[in-house]
């Protein structure tokens, strides 16, 4: 049995009681990385020397009582880490080895003393659903390396599934935490917009991006959320709302919980295997005393178009900062200043990033702004209203996280729209800004994980966690490990 | 208006400070046309009296005191610069 088969809470107790040392735990993390990461490619940058140094320092401390104390963790590579290379999986930032500050979430973690073992692979600048847009060797799914791990937080999900770290941080703009969590059979939470500070998260689409944790269990996830959530004066869009103790919500009791199931989430395009797993999950909820009813999110079918217009527009503005002047890789072919911008950007960005910058620049350009960008903002209001109305009556919304289990590497790379459709069940949640989690709820015939999505009301992550935890504890799906996930 | 021409692609590329060779311009025109055509389904919806959502939370302009504080040193600011000279970031000439 691997130390990584214990929950974070159990490991905290073992460290506290001196049954194990932080050094042992961190070494186990690197051993597993050496064992499997040649196949999984979850990590872009490792920091073994510094991590072991920190582990030994923590082992010497009298007080080992902190939440997450000594727990090995990975950080998605679009979250800035002081002195630790941060590339966003882009060749443009290949040489960005010495960032000057920590993202707020990293500072908040460091205050509790988990041990960061390295930075995690992703789709370049978080644009993608399969990690195939990484500027480096793409991450593979630990359950079957012929399949993608999902994206854009594919490295974050795969590293947890493969037992390389106990938890990771990801970011979710249109499903980038939940979709890879579903594909890799782990728990991934996208908090309410504004719940977690975005300061130091390299911005993709500022009105949609949120940072959240990926873990093996719901309890682990709630523990990490307690640490990273909260208002931050460095992020003017972070909300000044009290953070409850999420772990206290994990009562196992969902009697009387009112669940809404949108018929659009079980419609055409969602595979039979996925539908069946969700229906089975609803039976579990019934047996636990919850009730469910079918509802409608009538504007869901417009979410994808809305999302691509808005997120690409915001991205085209956010990515204007990458110009080869102050950091990043500068083109050596440029003859003057303007040429340097153009050549550095054209050589540095990958194809998907360029496509989205182009789409966004077009949608914001003179003559098209009202027809595309503003129109999409108005449809966003309609989508948000759909959610508001249902969440007035129900505690949570439940459906699949993705239409199918993880697809094969190369299966969807030829046509951008085919790839985009994969996010159709997660995108509306970002547009509305509400919290959503993906938890394992079954396996396909091929043995690939299937994810259940639970969506809650604004700032009510507690109810989402309570519902997720009750289901998890009543089932065994979360106990299954991939072949590359360490022995169980 | 679903068709995006090669001229439009070149115009937008210039706005975005990107450049593409002829083959890539053609491919980009096709891909953007397909995405925009897909996006035009939004026109099925009457949004005449709908307010746009720029932001999901009820936040107005958030202000904080503008207080000077130590952030980074000049040396630190130059750490990741691709080219520098005499304590400053160096770039190619701006004037011809």
Backbone angles phi, psi at A268, to 5 degrees: -50, 145
> B6 at the A interface (CB within 8 A)?
no
- Give me the residue from A233, A345, A358 closest to B64, CB to CB: A233
pTM: 0.97
Q: Are the Cβ atoms of B18 and A358 closer than 8 angstroms?
A: yes
> A345 at the B interface (CB within 8 A)?
yes
ipTM reported for the complex, 2 dp: 0.95
Nearest to A351 by CA among A134, A153, A201, A205: A134
Q: Which residue of A has its CA nearest to B34?
A: A417
- Select which of A54, A64, A76, A412 is catalytic: A76
Q: Are the Cβ atoms of A100 and B79 closer than 8 angstroms?
A: yes
Which residues fall within 8 angstroms of residue A283, CB to CB, at 6 or more apart? Answer: none
Distance set, CA B65 to CA A56, A234, A240, B62, B68 (Å): 41, 12, 17, 10, 9
How far apart are the C-alpha atoms of A316 and A204, rounded to whole Å? 9
Q: Residues A158-172, buried b or exposed e (16+ Cβ, 10 A)?
A: bbbbbbbbbbbbbbb
In 3-state terms, what secondary structure has residue A115? strand
A229 to chain B, minimum CA–CA distance in Å?
A: 16
Question: Residue A258 catalytic?
Answer: no
How far apart are the C-alpha atoms of A271 and A290, rounded to whole Å? 25
* pLDDT tens per residue across all 488 residues of chain A: 677 889 999 999 999 999 999 999 999 999 999 999 999 999 999 999 999 999 999 999 999 988 999 999 999 999 999 999 999 999 999 999 999 999 999 999 999 999 999 999 999 999 999 999 999 999 999 999 999 999 999 999 999 999 999 999 999 999 999 999 999 999 999 999 999 999 999 999 999 999 999 999 999 999 999 999 999 999 999 999 999 999 999 999 999 999 999 999 998 889 999 999 999 999 999 999 999 999 999 999 999 999 999 999 999 999 999 999 999 999 998 889 999 999 999 999 999 999 999 999 999 998 999 999 999 999 999 999 999 999 999 999 999 999 999 999 999 887 777 777 889 999 999 999 999 999 999 999 999 999 999 999 999 999 999 999 999 999 999 999 998 886 54
């Amino acid at each position: 049995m691997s130390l990584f088969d214990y929950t974070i809470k159990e490991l905290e107790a073992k460290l506290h009681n001196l049954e194990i040392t932080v050094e042992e735990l961190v070494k186990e993390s690197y051993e597993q990385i050496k064992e499997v990461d040649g196949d999984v490619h979850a990590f872009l940058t490792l920091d073994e020397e510094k991590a072991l140094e920190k582990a030994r320092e923590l082992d010497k401390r009298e007080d080992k009582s902190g939440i997450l104390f000594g727990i090995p963790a990975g950080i998605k590579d679009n979250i800035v880490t002081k002195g630790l290379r941060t590339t966003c999986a882009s060749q443009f930032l290949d040489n960005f080895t010495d960032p000057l500050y920590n993202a707020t979430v990293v500072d908040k973690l460091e205050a509790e003393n988990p041990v960061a073992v390295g930075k995690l692979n992703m789709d370049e600048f978080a644009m993608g659903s399969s990690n195939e847009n990484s500027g480096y060797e793409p991450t593979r799914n630990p359950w079957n390396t012929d399949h993608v791990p999902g994206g854009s937080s594919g490295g974050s999900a795969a590293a947890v599934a493969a037992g390389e770290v106990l938890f990771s941080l990801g970011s979710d703009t249109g499903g980038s935490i939940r979709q890879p969590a579903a594909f890799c059979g782990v728990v991934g939470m996208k908090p309410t917009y504004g719940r977690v500070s975005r300061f130091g998260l390299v911005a993709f689409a500022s009105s949609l991006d949120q940072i959240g944790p990926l873990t093996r269990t719901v309890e682990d996830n709630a523990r990490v959320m307690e640490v990273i959530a909260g208002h931050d004066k460095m992020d003017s869009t972070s909300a000044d709302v009290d953070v409850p103790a999420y772990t206290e919500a994990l009562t196992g009791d969902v009697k009387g919980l009112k669940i809404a199931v949108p018929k659009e989430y079980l419609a055409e395009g969602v595979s039979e295997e996925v539908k069946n797993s969700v229906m089975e999950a609803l039976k579990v909820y019934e047996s636990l005393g919850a009730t469910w009813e079918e509802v409608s999110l009538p504007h869901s079918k417009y979410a994808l178009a809305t999302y691509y217009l808005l997120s690409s527009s915001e991205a085209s503005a956010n990515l204007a900062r990458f110009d080869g002047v102050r950091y990043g890789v500068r083109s050596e072919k440029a003859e003057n200043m303007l040429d340097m911008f153009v050549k550095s950007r054209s050589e540095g960005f990958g194809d998907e990033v360029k496509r989205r910058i182009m789409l966004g620049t077009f949608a914001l350009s003179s003559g098209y702004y009202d027809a595309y960008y503003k129109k999409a903002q108005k449809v966003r209001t309609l989508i948000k209203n759909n959610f508001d109305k249902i969440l007035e009556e129900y505690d949570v919304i439940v459906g699949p996280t993705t239409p199918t289990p993880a697809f094969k590497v190369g299966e969807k790379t030829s046509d951008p729209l085919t790839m985009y459709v994969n996010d159709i069940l997660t995108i509306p949640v970002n547009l509305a800004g509400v919290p959503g989690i993906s938890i394992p709820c079954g396996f396909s015939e091929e043995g690939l994980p299937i994810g259940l999505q639970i969506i809650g009301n604004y700032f009510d992550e507690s109810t989402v966690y309570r519902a997720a935890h009750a289901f998890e504890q009543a089932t065994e799906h979360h106990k299954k490990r991939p072949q590359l996930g360490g022995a169980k | 208006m679903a068709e995006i021409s090669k001229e439009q692609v070149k115009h937008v590329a210039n706005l975005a400070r990107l450049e593409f060779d002829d083959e890539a311009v053609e491919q980009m025109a096709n891909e953007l046309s397909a995405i925009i055509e897909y996006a035009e389904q939004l026109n099925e919806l009457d949004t005449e009296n709908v307010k746009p959502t720029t932001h999901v939370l009820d936040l107005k302009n958030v202000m904080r005191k503008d207080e000077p504080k130590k952030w980074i040193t000049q040396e630190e600011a130059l750490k990741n610069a691709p080219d520098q000279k005499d304590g400053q970031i160096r770039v190619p000439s701006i004037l011809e």
